[in-house]
Amino acid sequence: MKAKPFVKWVGGKTQLIDQLEALLPADFDQWENVTYIEPFVGGGAMLFYMLQTHSNIQSAIINDINSDLTMCYKVVRDNPSALVESLKELQKEYYSLQAEEMRKQFYLMMRDEFNTKTLDPIRNTTLFFFLNRTCFNGLYRVNKAGLFNVPFGRYETPMICDPNTIYADSALLQNVEILTGDYQETLAHAKGNTLFYFDPPYRPLNNTSSFNDYAKEAFNDLAQVRLKEFCDKVEEAGYKFMLSNSDCSDMFFDDLYLQYIIDRVWASRSVNANASKRGKLTEILVHNYQDTKQLKLAV
């Protein structure tokens, strides 16, 4: 059983893995004692891929400002058996409710309990998983008070407990350091051959397409500029980085990252209330190195 993301996450990178792999530094597989850092870990698709594919990664550091999410990573890493048992009990209780209205009321009750912010790590993570698997479209969204507010989703038998994934992920996370807070703190953990992969909240393509409410703190254009300045610090320290974001028509990122290299990759967009706006579109991938695996293969 391969490790894979244990939660659904908007903007997850599973579908882009091959394109991201192709845009890694050309000599990445020859690097020794690699430190891999993800300052915005989210669902962790790239993390799980990198750790299972590149054996030269000796240490990994992940971070997110969402403390409920990083708690999930810690519980999966340190207490998988307790989590599995807790999820099994909750799944059994949920499946026993036959009427949709009963399930909806149960969902809302669990959401209210989760939002008390007073739970122990196992219970908090159990409810995080439950809400993630039973809410509308598997979204994670909070309001300005930091409270989870996604409505109920109508699924027949959602997989609330997936023991195989939890145990596989737990094994892979054993040597991963998990941080919670400002992404800028991750620079202190870089050493030697380090690769940063940034997957921040994406800049909206337009005024009606905003979806970056993963935390109560807004990630606006000023935050995007602050992130670019942090990339400059990574560059000055001699480390490599790659960064994903939306491909905005106003060329915001082309201007912002003018000194770096920008490639475009194809992605599927499925989270949009307007069906006509779903489908393939490009995203940008910024990096501070010239030669990529893709270019090496093309020579």
In 3D space, the residue among 214, 207, 287 whose CA is nearest the CA of residue 248 turns out to be 207
3-state SS assignment for residue 180: strand
**For position 273, what pLDDT does the model report?**
45
**Overall average pLDDT of the 44-70 stretch:** 97
**For position 156, what pLDDT does the model report?**
86
Judge whether residue 210 has pLDDT over 70: no
Band (299; pLDDT cuts 50, 70, 90): very low
**For position 275, what pLDDT does the model report?**
44
**For position 179, what pLDDT does the model report?**
98
**For position 269, what pLDDT does the model report?**
62
pLDDT tens, position by position, 63-91: 999 999 999 999 999 999 999 999 999 99
HEC string of 229-248 equals: HHHHHHHHCCCEEEEEEECC
Mean pLDDT of the chain: 92
**For position 270, what pLDDT does the model report?**
56
- Strands 279-287 and 240-246: what pairing? antiparallel
H/E stretch holding 47:
helix 45-53
**For position 272, what pLDDT does the model report?**
47
Judge whether residue 277 has pLDDT over 60: no
pLDDT tens, position by position, 168-199: 999 999 999 999 999 999 999 999 999 999 99
The residue assigned the tokens 């690097």 is 31
Judge whether residue 254 has pLDDT over 60: yes
Judge whether residue 55 has pLDDT over 80: yes
Judge whether residue 274 has pLDDT over 50: no
**Overall average pLDDT of the 112-124 stretch:** 98
**For position 154, what pLDDT does the model report?**
87
More confident residue, 277 or 84: 84
Q: How much is the pTM?
A: 0.92
CA atoms within 13 A on the CB side of 15: 16
The residue assigned the tokens 């507010």 is 149
More confident residue, 242 or 156: 242
